[in-house]
Chain A
């Protein structure tokens, strides 16, 4: 779709490209340091905080925000909500890139990344929830790749292969939902083993359920949020169907998000009641917990509800962004802020700037890959030679 011949060098020197280029250069330098000098040289990880920003943000937040793929494809293919069909491909693409980057980030975080296949090939630690997470993430990345592949095949003109893959749509969608249910919840369940370390307000037997429900919220919000960005920056790539579907998707997904957020709020309160944790609410951590619960759960639930009622698309868009931020806050709370909460401040963790640098680098890679693909492959429009599947 892009006529490269018309591109002059100046067109590449946009402010976005310059900033992205600088981040990539910085990322590459830190990458070299990480793999030659070790984790200690580029991170603030400690024996008290073996997991830092790369697990909290790149893994936990990354996986949650990549949930749009399974949420959207399930809505359209399994629940038959065909009017959201235009949202499927962008959501699958985001999911695929998201998971690919999560796996990339894990290579930075683990001490011996060349051994990452060991849990499957050498010694299966099946009693570990991390084993389940690893297995599901690996499988789901494969599923997402296959789900995404028709777009690439249309681009490359591989008609026969595409026909085969599109026939698998339903099977892949069901597989995607199963795998996502398992690992989204298991990421939360990772913390079940450390009841003594996680603040009681965040520790709960329901934590796997919380993680699963918030992944749906994250998925819905990301589809809206990212749809808004695509609409702004890649409008020229969208065909009439995609342009027309925007309002439909925002209203439909916004309404769903409002309900799920409201439900999540209720189960959270039930969780506090079940563990009888009310007295903690009066402490400093309690105040912070209330900020999360009221500011990032109740508030967006209202934002979505009002936005949908008034058909106020910009309110829905802003709420989606706020909800995504809320997911970030929640995951950082569980893995860093409320973790080891009782330690004196000198033993607590704050990320090294190079850890932040790598996280930025990885997000930038994702944005660049997304742009590369949507400007070439039929993601935001239906390829004229093919029927939508």
Chain B
């Protein structure tokens, strides 16, 4: 039932040549996206993994990573649960699910999601989902904000914290450079038990389903990665429940971009509505101010007119009074003169 790794060599060649130019990561848009059908993928059959760490060694070699403190054939390393780091793009962990006699080994690395959280999160588009399958990283634009690491649901990307001048995000490349040369990924090639199989994702899904059907007692009836977080290019088959061997089952099937689509969609609404609303409120405030000012103006004018009218009345009264006084004075003078004249007449 197993498919020879070599069969796939030809396929990669075909896939690699027909579409070498990476298109933009539609992964991050809100459009319905069902993945690139011809994209390459790897099926990891956990039930076949013997925990030899040959894949770790191969990955270290093909990526020219520094030698670890303890050699790859030292299997005591498996006593502690480890994760990927900037110096180890893939890790094999040992699990001892309850009730099992034999331990289970699981290899982890970037799952090359169909709609990667890391790509959706990056604010300089440093990650791209290529049509060939690999999620690739462009170190030339990365600012080092590490939001991709926050976003990745599988805790995969790692950072070179010890580099002062050129720190980079580090993760499995699905051996994209080797694929371009028509070679298999380093880890797949090194695996002695064919626990790793390379091929087209659509084909591998069929292979996986075939295995589950042929050996229903051996496998959980689920292909991990078929739908998790919108689907991944690394697929897993397991005997024990996935959550017991370190593969989270609470991730759901929605791609990461769907969680943020709502918040992003709210931006144009805020930008469109706020100015209108705020200007409206400002206009009302201003109008209130203006009406208040106008009312004040009216009151002032009123007061002024009233005072003026008052003054007029007073003035008139004063003038009248003055007129009367004048008239009285004239009358008095005339009377005086008349009196004087009369007196003079009498004296004559």
Whether B260 pairs with A193 at a CB distance below 8 angstroms is yes
Main secondary structure of the interface of A (DSSP, over half): helix
Chain B positions near chain A (C-beta within 8 angstroms): 28-29, 83-86, 117, 119-126, 141-147, 149-151, 153, 155, 157-164, 166-168, 248, 250-252, 256-257, 259-260, 262-264, 266-267, 270-271, 274-275, 278-279, 281-282, 285-286, 288-289
Which of these binds chain B: A2-10, A176-184, A297-305?
A176-184
Whether B164 pairs with A35 at a CB distance below 8 angstroms is yes
B141 (CB) vs chain A CBs: closest residue: A123
Taking CB atoms, residues of chain A closer than 8 Å to B164 are 35-38
Q: Report the Cα distance A194→B150, complex, angstroms.
A: 7
Q: Report the Cα distance A170→B285, complex, angstroms.
A: 12
Taking CB atoms, residues of chain B closer than 8 Å to A1 are none
Taking CB atoms, residues of chain A closer than 8 Å to B86 are 47
Q: How many residues of A contact B (CB 8 A)?
A: 59
Whether A127 pairs with B159 at a CB distance below 8 angstroms is no
> A351 near B: Cβ within 8 Å?
no
Taking CB atoms, residues of chain B closer than 8 Å to A170 are 282
Partner of B289, one of A51, A74, A80, A109: A80
Known: A181-B274, A193-B151. A115 touches B141 (CB 8 A): yes
Q: 1/0 per position for A181-202, CB-CB distance to B under 8 A?
A: 1100110011111111100000
B254 (CB) vs chain A CBs: closest residue: A195
Q: Report the Cα distance A323→B153, complex, angstroms.
A: 33
> A17 near B: Cβ within 8 Å?
no
Q: Report the Cα distance A41→B164, complex, angstroms.
A: 9
> A375 near B: Cβ within 8 Å?
no
Known: A38-B167, A115-B141, A193-B151. A47 touches B84 (CB 8 A): yes
Known: A127-B120, A174-B278, A194-B151. A112 touches B166 (CB 8 A): yes
CB distance from B264 to the nearest CB of A (A): 7
Taking CB atoms, residues of chain B closer than 8 Å to A38 are 160-164, 167
Q: Report the Cα distance A282→B121, complex, angstroms.
A: 33
Taking CB atoms, residues of chain A closer than 8 Å to B150 are 50-51, 190-191, 193-194, 197
Q: Report the Cα distance A78→B275, complex, angstroms.
A: 11
Taking CB atoms, residues of chain A closer than 8 Å to B141 are 115, 118, 122-123
> A111 near B: Cβ within 8 Å?
yes
19 further contact pairs, Cβ within 8 A, besides A47-B83, A50-B159, A111-B160: A37-B164, A38-B160, A39-B167, A43-B161, A48-B155, A50-B147, A78-B282, A112-B143, A112-B144, A116-B143, A119-B143, A122-B124, A123-B124, A125-B122, A127-B120, A129-B121, A170-B282, A178-B274, A192-B262
Whether B248 pairs with A196 at a CB distance below 8 angstroms is yes
Q: Which of A128-148 contact B (CB under 8 A)?
A: 128-132, 134
CB distance from B229 to the nearest CB of A (A): 9
A43 (CB) vs chain B CBs: closest residue: B161
Whether A194 pairs with B155 at a CB distance below 8 angstroms is no
